A and B are shown apart, each in its own frame.
Chain A
Amino acid sequence: MEILLSALTGLLYAGGVFLILRRSILKFIIGIIFLSNATNLLVFLSAGIVHGKPAFLDGVESDSGKLADPLPQALVLTAIVIGFGIVIFTLALKYKFFITTSTNDLDQLKNTDV
């Protein structure tokens, strides 16, 4: 299963890179989303995947060996939220940019003056 998921990660990366190389700003933002999803998946996979054993404790005693690794999950959780913040902010920026300059083209961003 890991090999298939790795390939999926690679595909997400490829799609993300292709999109951030576009001149359309909206595609660029979607590219960012793909890239952040891909990276989350990479970190998540790198810890090793365990089926059906979430890191929940049921009492005083613990058996850490059998549970899924909680640390990468905590990292990825943070990354998802931060990524969300970035995308939302970029989206708002793009919106304002379009309102101001009425262009959708990244190449128009070369000049600092309107």
Chain B
Amino acid sequence: MTAVLTVAAGEIRSALRNRWVLSATLVLAALALSLALLGSAPTGTVGVAPLDVTVVSLTSLTIFLVPLIALLLSHDAIVGERERGTLLLLLSYPLARWQVIAGKFIGHTAVVSIAVTLGYGSAGLVIAWLFGGIDSESMTAFAALIGSSIVLGAAFLALGYLVSVCAPQRATAIGVAVAIWLVLVLVYDAALLGILVADTSRSMPAELVQALLVLNPADAFRLFNLAGLGRVGTFSGMAAVSQQAHAGGAILISMLILWTALPLLGAAVIFGRREV
């Protein structure tokens, strides 16, 4: 366990030192604040809880940004060390290969957590200070957003390690990581929408659509935050989906955890078998 924590602490220290944490936090905070302030304009007099609106806009922001940040952190983790020549030395120390992956995962998850919590937290505080009217339900929705964003980040970190242990070169790793991001975040939804539009005879059962949505980690995250949490769902435009897609919050979060655990396990197994 000491070895895992040492690797994790090393990753956190590196990320703090090379300003990864700072830049990720600043980007998230800046975008979250501008979305929150812009988003609050039309709601001013309607009496909708401002923090809830912020949750809706931050959910979309998270789906684009957090997977990207996670993949940028993790795609390089193994193949980068291999190319720089630090991996050979690390593996000559008394730690197992899975401990390297576990340590990096813990360290990078901490980095994502710091960035998301500070970035979104600061936006939440500004909203609360400007508009007031924060009840416990809004607070719960906002906390759930931060928590689930971290889990979404963890899933894409794990995917990044899987890429990193398989890739022969860093250039390959970044290419595959960007492809994964494009497919899961952009192409998947567009393709699903296209199929639904083309499917004029409605031959596709609703259960299949629901299952396809839940299977994608980005959509599972979206459903969890927009449809899964009471009031937020009603003005997120996801109400219709949420009634059809009555997958509970527990299932959606389990799906995200599965998307974390399986690639992480795969990465550890493949890394254990590969040569330096």
The answer to whether A binds B is no
B: residues with CB less than 8 A from A are: none
A: residues with CB less than 8 A from B are: none
